[in-house]
Structure 1
Amino acid sequence: MGLTKTYKDGTTPVIAVIGAGFSGLCAAIRLQTQLGISSYRVFEIEPDIGGTWWSNTYPGCACDVKSHNYAFSFEPNYDWSRSYAPQQEIWEYLRRTAHKYNLYDKISFRTEITHTEWNDSLQKWVLDYVNLNTGEKSRMEADIVFSGMGPLRIPQIPKEFEGFEGPMWHTAQWNHTYDLTNKRVAVVGSGASAIQVVPSIVKKVKTLDYYQRTASYIVPRRNARYSALWKWMFRNIPFFHFIYYKILYWSSEYTIAAFSSKLKDRIPRLVATFMAWLIRRIQIHDAVLREKLTPTYEMGCRRIVVSSNYYPALTRENVNVHTAKITGVKGHSILLNDGSAQEVDALILATGFHVQDLLPKGFLIGKGGIDVIEKFGKNPLTYYGVTSPVTPNLFFLLGPNTGLGHNSVLFMIEIQVEYAIKAISFMMEKNLASVQVTERACKDFIEELDDKMKGMVWSSSCKSWYQNDEGKVTALWWSSCSHYWWRLRKFHPARFVGVQRI
């Protein structure tokens, strides 16, 4: 059965899309191509599209998902240069895609949404926003809101570094005007960004003091180049790219077993752990350094990082790896709790992002004046990240229970957009001003999520960005991408309630 593309009076809903990264662009494209809707507007806080891939331009920045799985399924890219695409290529792909679908005319750049509130009498969302170039404040009424605000957008900068008197910046705000050549540089943090930055600058700097709080599991990065022949075959041989795409997808999908503590999944988990152990043994000969870089938690609890040049970079003579806790800074010096201090010229923070608290209190007000963040905190009542009982017509495209540790998040984004498209079509077919998921459906989903997570590593005693402060898994959906598709392949009207248009 086809999709209903207009209300009975021939009109379409007014839609606001927040964010012009992968999520927001996917929503805009599918609104156009599947429903023929042009009555939407995209709000982007930055001066160009790209989201994470516009903001993060640090040396070595690249995707840790295979390139051909890191593109929209409906808009494949046959010209990736490598198995793992660098930041610039991903950003250029997004720009080409946006131009192809004429999205630039629909995007308000340097525009920040400051407040979003549901008006029950209007059956609409009221969005306050400000033009960051002019300071002009405005308001928009929208029937439907897509939230494409990704979690990797607000840098986390610990207060103890605010007193540093030299050049300091976060990896997501890279200072390209400062020359690191022959400088004494400190890098704080040991996640994916740091693991990409360190090998990219280590040969340039005089010394590199590397501050690691928690060691990461590293697996080899086989970053092969795609030759002209490969690109020709992708483009010209029927189904060749499709088959290749599926092979990459299913090989990544299978690795979900490595995150399970169940007996039947022991072999994949042991293989992955052995690979991480082997690369440490081969690339780090110093036993003391190797011990510093050996994780003490279960594999998969924190994000597994792919890299083949990280360990060799840390073995260089100009690198010092510190595991003592940082207690503060004084002038140009980093102070540690073991009594030592290191004077440096520049400080680079790879300290992550505000993943669990990316929306402030007062930003999102739902039905009945409920402050969604204040009421539900870091345990929002969401139904597959799509909507909730107190937020009608609001679709989270990369929100709670969406992030992944084993495959491409673009698959999750596409599936949630497809589900939202079905919901909007259902609204127009039934002449509804709004739809909201039932509280029962939400609670059933959360209970199922909690139950499924009991057998997964994220529910162990370790701490990671997949969990909130209470140890509850909120930033990761419990199972595989294929399971996610299976559950969301069909829109279930019985799980929603609607209000008729007047």
Structure 2
Amino acid sequence: MGLTKTYKDGSTPVVAVIGAGFSGLCAAIRLQTQLNLSTYQVFELEPDLGGTWWSNTYPGAACDVASINYQFSFEPNFDWSHRYAPQPEIWAYMRKVAKKYNLYEKILFRTEVTHVEWNEDRQKWILNYMNLATGEQSVMEADIVFSGTGPLRIPQIPKQFEAFEGPKWHTAQWNHSYDLTNKRVAIVGSGASAIQVVPSIVDKVGTMEFYQRTPTYIIPRRNGAYNAIWRFMFRYVPFFHFIAFKLNYWSSEFTINIFSNKWIHKIPRTMATMMAFLYRFRQVRNKALREKLTPKYEMGCRRIVVSSEYFPALSKKNVNVHTQAITSVKGNTLTLQDGSVQEVDALILATGFQVQEMVPPKFIIGKGGVDLRDKWGHNPSMFYGITAPETPNLFFLLGPYTGLGHNSVLFMIETQVDYAIQAISHMMANNLSTIQVKQKPCDDFIQDLDTRMKDKVWSSSCKSWYQNEEGRVTALWWGSVSQYWWRLRNFHADNFIATKRI
């Protein structure tokens, strides 16, 4: 059966979409194309769309998922320059798609949604928002809310670095006006951003003091170029692009096995670990440096990064790799636990994001005045992007339990959006003002997640951004992307409590 696209009286629900990154764009496009719905509004904090790919413009910024899988399935891009697309190409792709669907006219830029609260009497969400350019505050009533704010948006900046008096910035807030040529530069952090930044600026700076917090498992980045022949075949040879997409997709899906401790998965785990070891051994010939760069935890516990330039960059003569903790920051100097002191001209923080803080206190207030942040606490209750029972008609895109490290997160976004589209169609077909997930499906899902996690690498003593402060995993590692899609292919009304329109 097809989707129901209006209520019986011909009206459609009013929808608010928070965020204009990949999640928000996907929600807006699917509302248009699958439901013919135009009664929606997108709110974006920044002056342009892009989300993560608008904010992260640091040198070397690129996707670590193959480009052919890092695009909407309904909008293939045949013109990627390389296997792993750089940030400018990804951002250009997003703007091209947005223009095709006339999304710019539906987005309020430089607009911050400050408060979202459910009004039980009106059976609607009340959104307070502010124009950051003028300070003007406004209110919107919405039947349905999509939250596409994403987890990689709030920089994690340790307080100790506030004392640094020279130029400093986070990788997600890159200072393009500062000339790094021949400067003494400090970089703190050794995650994906740092691993891309270091090779991109190492030959420009005078000296680089690199403060590694935790070594990272790294595998080669085979970043071949797509020349004119490749692009021609993608565009004009029947099924060529589709087959290439499927091959990339399933090769990525297979790697989920390296995160399992089951005996049947020992071979792929061992092979992946050996590949990372041999790659590090071949690229880092200095034994002392190689020891510093060798992880002491199980492979897969923390994010695995692809790079072919990182190890050679750290091996250069103008780079000093430090593994001691920074105990003091004063003026332009950093003091380490071993007493050594480094004076630098600029400080770059590659210290990650506040992934667990994607819902601020008192931001989303549901039925009965329940603060979603308090409701979730450190153990969010969510059912495939549908939030807690106290928050009807609220869809979280890339919320807890949807993080990935082995395949494309865009697949997760599309899957959740399509599920939400089914839910909205169901509401219109049955003349419903609200649907809210029952507690039992949430509990069953979390219990299933906990059970499946017992034999995964994250159940060991290691710590990573996939876990909260209590050590509980809040990323969807219980299965594969395909399994997630399989569970969400159909909307099941019996998982929800429905309220008829007045």
Give TM class, smaller chain.
over 0.9
Partner of 2:54: 54
- Runs of 4 or more off by more than 2 Å in structure 1? 385-388
- After superposition, the C-alpha distances for 1:226-282 in whole angstroms (9 at most, x for unaligned) are 010110011001111111101000000000001111110111111110110011110
Partner of 1:471: 471
Query: Structure 2: how far apart are the matches of 1:119 and 1:331?
Result: 51
CA drift at 1:479: 1.1
- After superposition, residues 193-342 of structure 1 pair within 5 angstroms as 193-342=193-342
Please say if residues 40 and 106 of structure 1, whose CA atoms lie closer than 8 Å, have aligned partners that are also in contact.
yes
* Residues paired across the two proteins, number: 502
CA drift at 1:478: 1.6
Partner of 2:142: 142
Please say if residues 360 and 373 of structure 1, whose CA atoms lie closer than 8 Å, have aligned partners that are also in contact.
yes
Please say if residues 356 and 475 of structure 1, whose CA atoms lie closer than 8 Å, have aligned partners that are also in contact.
no
Matched, 1:168 2:168: yes
CA drift at 1:310: 0.2
| Aligned-partner residue type, residue 342 of structure 1 | Q
Structure 2 unaligned residues grouped into runs of 5+: none
Query: Structure 1: how far apart are the matches of 2:459 and 2:71?
Result: 30
Query: Structure 2: how far apart are the matches of 1:370 and 1:185?
Result: 46
Query: Structure 1: how far apart are the matches of 2:460 and 2:110?
Result: 41
Matched, 1:124 2:148: no
| Aligned-partner residue type, residue 72 of structure 1 | F
CA drift at 1:385: 2.2
Please say if residues 20 and 50 of structure 1, whose CA atoms lie closer than 8 Å, have aligned partners that are also in contact.
yes
Q: Which moved more, 1:473-482 or 1:338-347?
A: 473-482
| Aligned-partner residue type, residue 351 of structure 1 | T
Partner of 2:408: 408
Provide TM-score, normalisation by structure 1. 0.99
Aligned to 1:356, what secondary structure does the other structure show?
Answer: helix
Identity %: 71
CA drift at 1:327: 1.1
Query: Structure 2: how far apart are the matches of 1:473 and 1:256?
Result: 16
CA drift at 1:378: 2.4
| Aligned-partner residue type, residue 154 of structure 1 | I
Do the aligned partners of residues 387 and 477 (structure 1) sit closer, same or farther apart at CA in structure 2, a change above 3 Å counting?
farther
CA drift at 1:77: 0.3
- After superposition, residues 425-436 of structure 1 pair within 5 angstroms as 425-436=425-436
| Aligned-partner residue type, residue 30 of structure 1 | R
Query: Structure 2: how far apart are the matches of 1:328 and 1:431?
Result: 62
Query: Structure 2: how far apart are the matches of 1:16 and 1:55?
Result: 22
| Aligned-partner residue type, residue 446 of structure 1 | I
- After superposition, the C-alpha distances for 1:9-28 in whole angstroms (9 at most, x for unaligned) are 00000000000000000000
Partner of 2:151: 151
| Aligned-partner residue type, residue 458 of structure 1 | W
CA RMSD of superposed structures (Å): 0.6
Query: Structure 1: how far apart are the matches of 2:452 and 2:466?
Result: 15
Partner of 1:480: 480
Structure 1 unaligned residues grouped into runs of 5+: none
Query: Structure 1: how far apart are the matches of 2:299 and 2:429?
Result: 48
| Aligned-partner residue type, residue 205 of structure 1 | V
Query: Structure 2: how far apart are the matches of 1:490 and 1:215?
Result: 42
Aligned to 2:117, what secondary structure does the other structure show?
Answer: strand
| Aligned-partner residue type, residue 434 of structure 1 | T
Query: Structure 1: how far apart are the matches of 2:372 and 2:93?
Result: 35
- After superposition, the C-alpha distances for 1:342-393 in whole angstroms (9 at most, x for unaligned) are 0000000000000011221100111110011023212121001223211100
Please say if residues 357 and 378 of structure 1, whose CA atoms lie closer than 8 Å, have aligned partners that are also in contact.
no
Query: Structure 2: how far apart are the matches of 1:187 and 1:476?
Result: 31
| Aligned-partner residue type, residue 256 of structure 1 | I
- After superposition, residues 92-111 of structure 1 pair within 5 angstroms as 92-111=92-111
CA drift at 1:315: 0.4
Query: Structure 2: how far apart are the matches of 1:260 and 1:249?
Result: 19
Partner of 2:447: 447
Query: Structure 2: how far apart are the matches of 1:203 and 1:364?
Result: 46
